[in-house]
Amino acid sequence: MSGPHESIALHPQSCTSCMLCVRECPDWCITVEAHSAPDPDAPQYSNARRPAMKNVLDSFEIDFSHCMWCGICIDVCPFDALHWSAQPLVASTERDGLIYPVERLIENLPLAKRPDGSAAPQIDEPPSGRRKK
Ligand code: SF4
Ligand code: SF4
């Protein structure tokens, strides 16, 4: 692991809504909502019986009031979407203030790093497609 682990960043373009992080988080901190839609980038086959579908992310939240910084969500994400960030959490006396939606998780991206020390994909970048080793 590299750098300070103050918070977690999400690169939403890389998230496929696979739900692995949701299932593996020991404290049930992560909530993901998504829906299926036809995938405009999928290859078109003349004998296809139905259109190829993809998950579209509707919302993603991490409840840092329950998080124990174990890093399991980051380790299990196969799509390079979750990263440790050196961006400190914003202190809050309200529990809801520690529930970070996508809009706040992307603010952690500029200081986010992969385990190998390289910069995490930034918000203006397309899905990295990179899979962890
Ligand atoms: S670091 Fe651990 S406790 Fe926190 S959201 Fe990820 S899996 Fe859950
Ligand atoms: S494991 Fe990664 S790709 Fe899957 S839902 Fe979580 S952040 Fe998204």
Is the Cβ–Cβ distance between 101 and 112 less than 8 Å? no
Where on the phi/psi map is residue 49: left (φ > 0), alpha (ψ -120 to 50), or beta?
alpha
Q: What are the pocket residues of ligand 2 if the criterion is a CB atom closer than 6 Å to any ligand atom?
A: 15-21, 32, 76-77, 79, 81-82
Q: What are the pocket residues of ligand 1 if the criterion is a CB atom closer than 6 Å to any ligand atom?
A: 25-27, 29-30, 62, 67-73
- Whose Cα sits closest to atom 6 in ligand 1? 73
How far is Cα 71 from Cα 59, in angstroms, rounded to an integer? 21
Is the model's pTM score more than 0.85?
A: yes
- Whose Cα sits closest to atom 2 in ligand 1? 70
Is the Cβ–Cβ distance between 34 and 56 less than 8 Å? yes
Length of the chain measured in residues: 133
How far is Cα 132 from Cα 75, in angstroms, rounded to an integer? 8
C-alpha 90 – ligand 2 centre gap (Å): 23
User: CA angle, corner 45, sides to 12 and 35, nearest 5?
Assistant: 30
User: In a structure prediction context, what are the per-residue pLDDT tens digits for the chain, which is 133 residues long?
Assistant: 556 789 999 999 999 999 999 999 999 999 999 999 988 888 877 787 888 889 999 999 999 999 999 999 999 999 999 999 999 998 888 778 999 999 999 999 999 999 999 999 999 999 987 776 5
Q: Delineate the domains of the chain, giving CATH numbers in brackets.
A: 7-113 (3.30.70.3270)
The minimum-distance atom of ligand 2 relative to the CA of 79 is 3
